[in-house]
Amino acid sequence: MARRGRRAKTRTVTRRRRRLPSRKKVSKSIGSQWGKISKGAGVLAFLSNVTGSDMSASAGQPIAARAQNFGNSLLGRISGYTPFKNAAGANTPQTIGIDGIFNKWSGIGLASTVYGMLPLKMLPHKGKAKTLGKSLLTAGILSGIFMPTNNRSSNLIAPSHGITVASSEVSYT
């Protein structure tokens, strides 16, 4: 039997290639998570700055004692309240001052933010650096307000002890 009007179609086999996951998809997923990574880095910088000097009191102790010391240090420095009275660091005073705002985290944050704002197109990861820089700069400044102060006086008006130089009186006549 002959077919009328229609011609027999031949089937062409199409092969679909299975592609490997491209690197762009991976970098996009990391890029979309970069804000969360930057916020996490800022929180860690804040906690490290505020509680860093007080955590040495619980070095070598079990994790529960270190957690109590961390809570006492953090809440003590910010609000003056220490919830664990019998733990290490229970006498942590509240510290508020502006003399700690220039610290390593605010310096790294400022440098990273400036790097992200440079008008050069060939520099890599400028957007990520700017996001991380803003987070670290904010964390450094805020934690510097509650950082424990050194026992040095930052008062520029108060008289300071000068160096005394012994002199012998000699007359040249």
Give the model confidence (pLDDT) of 146-165 as tens digits.
Answer: 988 765 444 444 444 545 44
pLDDT tens per residue across span 45-68: 999 999 888 888 788 889 998 999
Task: Please tell me the distance from the alpha carbon of residue 124 to that of residue 116, in angstroms, as a whole number.
Answer: 9
The residues near 141 (Cβ < 8 Å, ≥ 6 apart) are 101, 106
Q: Is 11 left (phi over 0), alpha (psi -120 to 50) or beta?
A: beta
| Contact between residue 140 and residue 108 where contact means Cβ atoms under 8 Å apart | yes
Q: Global pTM?
A: 0.65
Task: Please tell me the distance from the alpha carbon of residue 121 to that of residue 124, in angstroms, as a whole number.
Answer: 8
**Average pLDDT over the chain, rounded to whole?**
79
The residues near 30 (Cβ < 8 Å, ≥ 6 apart) are none
Helix axes 104-116, 23-51, angle to 10 degrees: 150
Return the percentage of the chain with pLDDT > 90, whole number.
Answer: 32
pLDDT tens per residue across span 72-85: 889 988 988 888 88
